[in-house]
Each structure stands twice: as C-alpha cells, then as structure tokens.
Amino acid sequence: AMQGKRDKLSEISETPSEQLGIGKIRLETHLREALVNDGLDVRYQPLLHVASGRIAGYEALVRWTHPERGAISPMEFVALAEETSLIVPIGEYVFDTACKAVTRFIDSGADPKPFIAVNVSARQLGHPGLIERIVARVDAAGLPRGSLKIEITESQALNYGLVADVIELCHRHGIKVALDDFGTGYSHLSHMHRLAFDTIKVDQAFSRAMVDDPRSLAIVEAIVHMGKALGTEVVVEGIETEEMLAILRRLGCDYAQGYLIGKPQTLDELLGAA
Ligand code: C2E
Ligand code: MG
Ligand code: MG
Ligand code: MG
C-alpha cells in the first residue's frame, strides 16, 4: 500500500502541494524507523485529585524526537500516523510502555496506586481485538484492571456504534473510558447523552477562559454539575495557575491536569521526585 501511494504521488509531483505530500511520506518513513529503533518515548503528566490534593494518576503522552527536526508535536505525527494506520503499532508501544510505568509506580510504593490514561484514536478503535490486547497486557503485567484508562478524542466521525461497543467491552473488563477534549471541535452533548463515558476531560480552551470570562466559567461549572448528575468524573485540563485551581476547588471538580500540577515528564524524573 505504501508503494502504491508513493507511485501515485510521483505521478502528480508537479504541484507544490504534492511535493509537500512527499515530505510527509519521508516523515512517515522516519516515524516508522523511530518506532522500530526505540526513537519514540512516553511522558507522563500527573492528574491531581482536587479534594484530597493527591496525585491520582498520569496521562501517557507519546514523544518523538526527529534526528534532524528535533521534537515533533504529537498533534502533527499522530495525525500522520492515523492516516497510515501506523498509529496501531505506535499505540501498542505506548500501552506496553504505560503498563511498565504503572508497575514501577506501584513498586515504588506510590499511594494511592496511580492509574495511567492512554490516548486512543478513532483509527485504533476500529482495529479488531484492541481492547482484548490491552486487557491481556494489563493481566500479563499483573496489574489491577482499573489501573488503565483509555481516552477517546471527540471528532465529527465519532462512530457511536463502535464507541458504544468499545465502552461496553471496556466496562466488562474493568477498564474506564474518558471523553477527551470535551467542548471543542465537533463536540456534541449527544456524545454524553448516548455514550456511558466514565470521565469527561474539559479542554484547556475553557480553563484558560474561565478566569476572566464569566460565561466560560458558567460553562465549566455546568459541566462539573452535569458530571455529578451523570456519575461521570470531570477532569479540567490546562490548569496553569493557583487561581485556576482555586476555581476548580470551589466548583467541586474531581481532577485537575496542567502545568501547575506538573508538566509531562519521564518516568525516571517522576520516580526520582517521589
Ligand atoms: P490531549 O490528550 O488532550 O493531551 C493534553 C495535551 O495538553 C498534551 O499535549 C499536554 O502536554 C498539553 N498540556 C497539558 N497541560 C497543559 C497546560 O497546562 N498548558 C498547556 N498549554 N498545555 C498543556 P501533547 O503532549 O502535545 O499532546 C497533544 C495531543 O496529541 C494529545 O492531546 C492527544 O490527543 C495526542 N496524543 C498524545 N499522545 C498520544 C498517543 O499516545 N496516542 C494518540 N492516539 N494520541 C496521542
Ligand atoms: Mg488525552
Ligand atoms: Mg485533552
Ligand atoms: Mg488535546
């Protein structure tokens, strides 16, 4: 399929946009190499349980340092990997690495035992056996099922049937599912209405605005209330200041995530700090 795509591109490589496309394919080749040559990495960002003031878990965030271009944002290369299904083996790498991380956190005596949330894209969800493989990994690592959560990003293409099946399967296996980036892009309240997510993650666009803008604050407050009414935990992302955290405390929000709590760090950095 790769070769086919390359041929197609060389046929039409006259236009600048297609030349850009060739750069993309080269980048994809580099990404494929990074995957097999240990060139990817995972960082962990803490989530604060607001009421207790304790770190409850971490979000695993994939990192790629390109040999020439340096650090490339996952926003860029995850999208690329999704187009080509390379996201499937990358996702497996992230899951494997995250399972090892939970084991090390537990061995280090972390209390409470932290969960690790892993991002899963729509392309991965459609891949048969994904959840079964995740569960097998968790079990093989001897971890409690509840130590892994998956985060699904909202998108226009969110396939209700597929996501409902994934959630049901996860719940049957004791794995929790979060709806990521709530409130942005193609977000719909119907996602919450039709799907039994365990957690809503409010996008940082709202936390950023809530400090100065009463309307944004009202929206965050309404989401926190909705979460309570539905029995769904609420995380607010992008918490960078004490003022923002104080607002979450006042609203009774469950979890805070952001640079104030901690930036994404390597496992060694986090264990060293513990
Ligand atoms: P996300 O899942 O919404 O992750 C949160 C993003 O916000 C991360 O960006 C994190 O570094 C950033 N962030 C956290 N706190 C703050 C803050 O206080 N201020 C600001 N300005 N930013 C903050 P990152 O690591 O660049 O990841 C971007 C997106 O890439 C993620 O958004 C997620 O959708 C995707 N992604 C990352 N890792 C993976 C992965 O392993 N698999 C998949 N499928 N997608 C991934
Ligand atoms: Mg996420
Ligand atoms: Mg998010
Ligand atoms: Mg995001």
pLDDT band with cut points at 50, 70 and 90 for residue 115: very high
Q: What is the pLDDT of residues 198-251, one digit of tens each?
A: 999 999 999 999 999 999 999 999 999 999 999 999 999 999 999 999 999 999
For residue 62 and ligand 1, the question of a CB distance below 6 A is answered with yes
* Range list of β-strands (E), 50-157: 54-66, 70-72, 115-120, 148-153
Contact 41, 65 (CB under 8 A): yes
What are the backbone dihedrals phi and psi of residue 235, each rounded to the nearest 5 degrees, phi first? -115, 135
What are the backbone dihedrals phi and psi of residue 73, each rounded to the nearest 5 degrees, phi first? -65, 140
Does pLDDT of 188 surpass 80? Answer: no
For residue 170 and ligand 1, the question of a CB distance below 6 A is answered with no
**Helix/strand/coil for 150:** strand
pLDDT in the model for residue 22: 56
Cα torsion 64, 70, 75, 76 to 10°: value is -100
User: Residue 13: what residue type?
Assistant: S
Which of 44, 48, 87, 119 maximizes ligand 1 atoms within 8 Å of its Cβ, making it the mutation to test the pocket?
Answer: 119
Cis amide prior to 112 (ω within 30 degrees): yes
**Ligand 4: distance of its center to the CA of 205 in Å?**
10
Q: What is the pLDDT of residues 30-48, one digit of tens each?
A: 999 999 999 999 999 999 9
Whose tokens are 């926003």? That residue is 75
Q: How far is CA 153 from CA 70, 84, 114, 177, 196, in A?
A: 26, 18, 22, 11, 14
Does pLDDT of 70 surpass 60? Answer: yes
Q: Rounded mean pLDDT of 5-12?
A: 43
**Ligand 3: distance of its center to the CA of 201 in Å?**
6
For residue 180 and ligand 1, the question of a CB distance below 6 A is answered with yes
Contact 47, 236 (CB under 8 A): no
For residue 121 and ligand 1, the question of a CB distance below 6 A is answered with yes
Does pLDDT of 139 surpass 50? Answer: yes
pLDDT in the model for residue 184: 81
Q: Rounded mean pLDDT of 47-61?
A: 97
Which of 31, 78, 90, 94 maximizes ligand 1 atoms within 8 Å of its Cβ, making it the mutation to test the pocket?
Answer: 78
pLDDT band with cut points at 50, 70 and 90 for residue 135: very high
What are the backbone dihedrals phi and psi of residue 248, each rounded to the nearest 5 degrees, phi first? -60, -40
pLDDT band with cut points at 50, 70 and 90 for residue 134: very high
In the chain, the percentage of residues whose pLDDT exceeds 70 is 89
Antiparallel, parallel or unpaired: β 40-49 and 199-202: unpaired
User: Of 216, 244, 235, nearest to 117 (Cα)?
Assistant: 235
**Size of the chain in residues:** 274
Whose tokens are 């080509």? That residue is 84
Contact 58, 66 (CB under 8 A): no
Q: Rounded mean pLDDT of 67-96?
A: 92
The winner for highest mean pLDDT among 71-80, 179-188, 248-257 is 248-257
Distance of CA 64 to the CA centre of its chain: 15
Does pLDDT of 10 surpass 60? Answer: no
